[in-house]
Amino acid sequence: MTTNEWLGCDLLEAVEEKLSGAVVFKGTRLPVEAIVENVDAFMEVDGLSKDGAVAATLECFPSVPGGAEGIRTVLAYREAHERQLQP
């Protein structure tokens, strides 16, 4: 997703002074792409369920704002946005 597409999610922001404007969780330097790619990898490579992948990602990134719920929120936002783009 592009920066502008992610910015519709209330948990995220893009500030030029933070990671050159990459989309991060508000108040952090934690890129959303790192989190969603990590969840995807746990599901695709390790065969974990979404809940298992969220839990494993949270172990890798314990400072995610909102914890598991924060991760689920950005995943749900991405899924909803991707459905809107499908014909």
| pLDDT tens readout for residues 6-58 | 999 999 999 998 889 999 999 999 999 999 999 999 999 999 999 999 999 99
Structural domain harbouring 70: 3-85
Number of H helices and number of E strands within the chain?
4, 2
Residue 51 has what pLDDT?
Answer: 97
For residues 62-80, average pLDDT: 96
> Where on the phi/psi map is residue 26: left (φ > 0), alpha (ψ -120 to 50), or beta?
beta
Residue 85 has what pLDDT?
Answer: 62
- Structural domain count, the chain: 1
Quick one: pLDDT band at residue 84, thresholds 50, 70, 90? confident
**Which CATH number does the domain housing residue 42 bear?**
1.10.10
